[in-house]
Chain A
Amino acid sequence: MTASASSALPVAVVLVDDSPVQRRFMRAAIEADNDFSVVAEARNGSEAVSLVARLRPGAVLMDLDLPVMGGIEAIERIMSSSPTPILVYSAFVGGTNSVNALEALAAGAVDVLCKPGPDDTGTLEEYATALRRKLRIASRVRVITHPRGRLRKSGMAGATPALGGGARRPLASPAAPDINPGHSNVRLVAIGASTGGPQALLTLLGQLPVDLEQAVLVVQHMAEGFIPGLASWLDGLVPMPVGVGVNGCRLQPGTVTIAPSGTNMLVQDDRLRTVCVPPEPGQFHIPGIDATFQSVASSLGSKAIGVLLTGMGRDGAVGLLAMRERGALTLGQDEATSTVYGMPAAAHEIAAVDRQLALDDIAPAVLGALGRALA
């Protein structure tokens, strides 16, 4: 693990881009804020890995399309040897290219931001402001050594699903934690995640079998437009089919439904019918985890399992508590394996969590509670 932003000193930032224009713009944007200091520039992924190992900056701002060593590999290497908050700044992370963003997040990047394009109406100053805002948040994330990098280092990279592989097989599971298998009437597993969520979801859902008799509903905080990419990306990598929910859809057993952007997805009844409702005024995270979890508590009571994964803030904690109070089994990701131990910590603090577990232990715990043998 590595410490992030200091309150007294400016955050040291390494820039990574092969374009001098982009590096000059990034530097001007970042150094317009006295809280940041650019300490080095790298022109390719290999230089970035070396510079980060040597300088141990507080944050990295990185393009993905890099010569010599590509951005995804550079992120994996940095996160395996010198974990550092990485903000990806690339032309191809939005819209139809959101799979690139998901790959970067799965490799360990904290967040992504799209570079300006020819048809964008925003001004450079607006992009500079967005860069500083995202970098400020990213630099405060306490990152951990990344699992994919660890596996690659130990020569076990094959144990992770290959991107785009699409094999519908579960990963090898660790031993199940001691969870009482008294939840055989469960109809739904509800999962909430935020920063670091895509990788955590990949790990968790990758261990759930395709013949799961329960439906899975995921609420992942994500910018508008990225949810379809998340669904498509996960669908190619985990055993169960993954899709984006729509208003009025009924959640299906053995299927992962991801709550859509811009709305709160609620479960209406124990037949797992859903409804999408507008967010509350002032609601910060959309889709909201609390709203979904509270609806699950009301409609399913003990016939649900709630899981709150890594993420900044407190969304999901109150909803998870409601689920627990209605008899649902509730699980929270532990600090050691969370990219950001915010939401699970908030849930733990208010006694919303039955069991706090390492990420790798959550799926076995869910299966154990359902009385399922591990794969």
Chain B
Amino acid sequence: MASLHEAFAGEVADRMPRLRAVPTARPGRELIQQARRDAHSLASSAAVVGMADVSRCARALEFRFDALLVDPSEPLPESLVDDVAELDALLLAGAASREAAVAATGPDPSPTVDRTS
């Protein structure tokens, strides 16, 4: 699990700056498609590392971008700022919670999956 969390931290570091920039960026299909993909990947990856709240929030954001793709030239809704901020807050809380768990019990063993044969 530790190696998955490490990969997830890298993915967050890669994708979140793009998502944070979206609300103030110029709307366009390419921008929204990339944002949708970032939200999609974060949603799936968060589920793998057990961060269900983050996964749900990112999935909701993905669906918002899906809806925006119907007309990418429309101005982006102001509420996107709050949506991205909520995802940021959940990621911070998740990271803090994991740090506390690691401090209490030590790092998870890795690899995560036992060999079967």
Contact = CB atoms under 8 A, between A and B. Distances in A.
Interface in B92-116: 111-116
Contact of B112 (A118, A119, A124): A124
B85 interface: no
Among the interface residues A29, A67, A117, A132, which one has the most CB atoms of the partner chain B within 10 A?
Answer: A117
Interface string A90-132: 0100000000000000000000000111111000110010001
Interface stretch (B1-9, B18-26, B72-80): B1-9
B48 A120 contact: no
Q: How large is the interface on A (under 10, 10 to 19, 20 to 34, 35 or more residues)?
A: 20 to 34
A118 B11 contact: no
Judged by DSSP, the binding face of A is loop
A78 B83 CA distance: 39
B115 A18 contact: no
A256 B85 CA distance: 50
B37 interface: yes
**Chain B contact residues, majority secondary structure:** helix
Given A24-B7, A118-B46, A29 B113 contact: yes
Contacts of B55: 117-118
Interface of A: 18-22, 24-25, 28-29, 32-35, 65, 67, 91, 115-120, 124-125, 128, 132
Contacts of A125: 112-114
Contacts of B115: 32-34
24 contacts: A19-B11, A19-B41, A19-B44, A20-B10, A20-B11, A21-B11, A21-B45, A21-B48, A22-B41, A25-B112, A28-B3, A29-B113, A32-B115, A33-B117, A118-B43, A118-B52, A118-B53, A118-B56, A120-B47, A124-B1, A124-B112, A128-B112, A128-B113, A132-B116
B117 A35 contact: yes
A124 B37 CA distance: 23
A78 B53 CA distance: 37
Most buried by A among B8, B10, B45: B45
Contacts of B44: 19, 21-22, 91, 115, 117
B31 interface: no
B48 A25 contact: yes
Contacts of A117: 44, 47, 55, 59
A65 B49 CA distance: 20
Contacts of B10: 20
Contact of B48 (A34, A116, A119): A116
Interface residues of B, number: 29
Contacts of A32: 111, 113-116
A35 B115 CA distance: 11
Contact of B113 (A91, A116, A124): A124
B36 to A, nearest CB: 9
A98 to B, nearest CB: 18
A22 B56 contact: no
B7 A21 contact: yes
B1 to A, nearest CB: 8
Contacts of B3: 24, 28
Contact of A25 (B4, B37, B52, B117): B4
B7 A20 contact: yes
Nearest to A66: B37
A209 B79 CA distance: 51
**A-B pairs with the 6 shortest C-beta distances?**
A118-B55, A21-B45, A118-B52, A32-B113, A20-B7, A21-B7
A268 B10 CA distance: 60
Contacts of A124: 1, 48, 112-113
Given A25-B4, A115-B47, A18 B56 contact: no
Interface string B32-44: 0000010011011
